[in-house]
Amino acid sequence: MARKSVHNCLHGTKYFCTRSNGMVAARLNYHSTVEEDQIQNQEWRETAFSKMKKWSQSLKELDLIGGRLVNINDHSRIFDEKLEKKMQAFKSTAKAFILLPSMQETMRKNLMDSSVDQRCKELEHFCKPHERDVLTVSSLTKVADILSISAQPRKVVRKKIGPQVTQHKIWTGALVEILNGLKSEIDQFLAQKRLSKEVRLSQQIAVGFLKFLESVMSHDPETSSWMRLTPTKGADSATGSPSPKWEEALEMCHDLVNCLSDETEFALHASKLDVMKEGLYQLRDVLIDKSIGYKENRHQEHLVQKRLTKTLGHSSKCLFTLLMYYLYGTAADVEVEVRGGVHVVGGGRKTCLYTGKILTVDEEEVVHDGVKQLDAAMGIFKFVWETAGMKGDLELQGHLWCVGAHNRSFTYRGNVYILHAINL
């Protein structure tokens, strides 16, 4: 039975090992087949494991988040193409090991020794090819699809979270978070003397955009800029010039996306700004009026919130971005390095969601950072599940893999995490 199970895991997967500049890269082709003895090739395992062990220490303070190389200590961006490719090769090779019979046996034993629900222990994990892919979640619809949430509960989720995540402070805060992240990386990029006309122009636009938002976010009745949905008599009484409106922000956002369209280093920021254009478009006729008072401003903020709540639907990536900022203070999408899957057990009374991440070393700070990433990713599924009022329990499992780690399981914020050692 065990041999048959392993064969089922391996079916439909093929590994190609190539040597380039002393590096071993494991590439997966899920549309091919492979014999069991090929994937267990001793030379392949020894060479790959040796490289991973060698690289682990040099990569231990780094990670790939959103496809970008970052320092795990402060999550600052690292612009080093060679190092980034090295990390990608490390992660890909580690994923290849997950499929090996010895690794599958280690995972089964670790599951049995953990506090995971007994019914979930008996099921296969990470055997299907897509379960080892990267998963990116950028909408509530994606979450609902994975959890098999039907249409009516989806409406409930949108109705409940809409008024919360479209608050004025959440809306402006998310925009500032995106722009500050972009500006910080541009400053770092230019400091390394990587000259680019488009990048420099993007820097100027981002600064102007942030100044615009600063005036919108001010809450000092003596100096603040207030929003209104209906036109004033045509000019700001203090300056005699027309009152600005959110359409200006929409134009700046559009210009930023265009400037960064060919700058691959900032593709993540460009895509996120493109997402936020949906909300900006809905507010394009909203004026920023310095002549109205605090009470009127609060009323206008409520109207803006109402408009966003009405127009941003369940599939809206903009709405999901606001939700992420509301829950975690970040505008980034959910990314899971090793997708995992969902098991429904006990006649539907329990649903088990499992995901995973590759670690460089088994050190406290690295393990903790990996656990926090998985916790945030799985947390959004738990949040949607509970908000939808789904019946039955949702159990969350986080799996971590590391070269030469000590096999163990532990609990973090009520969820079980299992660290699996990658060994020969």
Q: What is the per-residue pLDDT across 339-395, written as a single tens digit (0 to 9) for each? A: 999 999 988 889 999 999 999 999 999 999 999 999 999 999 999 999 999 999 999
pLDDT higher than 70, residue 238: no
- 229: pLDDT strictly greater than 70: no
Average pLDDT over residues 112-139: 92
Tell whether the model's pLDDT for residue 299 goes beyond 50. Answer: yes
Please give the pLDDT value at position 87. Answer: 96
In percent, the amount of the chain with pLDDT more than 70 equals 81
The reported pLDDT for the residue numbered 38 is: 42
Mean of pLDDT values over 334-338:
96
Residue 289 has a pLDDT of 63
> Which range has the worst mean pLDDT, 106-110, 245-249, 338-342?
245-249
Tell me the three-class secondary structure of the chain, residue by residue. CHHHHHHHHHCCCEEEEEEECCEEEEEEECCCCCCHHHHCCHHHHHHHHHHHHHHHHHHCCEEEECCEEEECCCCCECCCHHHHHHHHHHHHHHHHHHCCHHHHHHHHHHHHHCCCCHHHHCCCCCCCHHHHCCEEECCHHHHHHHCCCCHHHHHHHHHHHHHHHCCHHHHHHHHHHHHHHHHHHHHHHHHCCCCCHHHHHHHHHHHHHHHHHHHHHCCCCCCCCEEECCCCCCCCCCCCCCCCEHHHHHHHHHHHHHHCCCCHHHHHHHHHHHHHHHHHHHCCCCEEECCCCHHHHHHHHHHHHHHHHHHCCCCCHHHHHHHHHHHHCCCCCEEECEEEEEEEEHHHCEEEEEEEEECCCCCHHHHHHHHHHHHHHHHHHHHHHHHCCCCCEEEEEEEEEEECCCCEEEEECCEEEEEEEECC
Residue labelled with tokens 């005699």: 240
Whole-number pLDDT of residue 239: 52
Q: Which of 269, 300, 306, 274 is nearest to 287 (CA)?
A: 300
Lowest mean pLDDT, pick from 38-42, 77-81, 132-136, 162-166: 38-42
Whether 67 has a pLDDT exceeding 90, the answer reads no
Q: Percentage of the chain surpassing pLDDT 90?
A: 66
pLDDT at position 39, please? 53
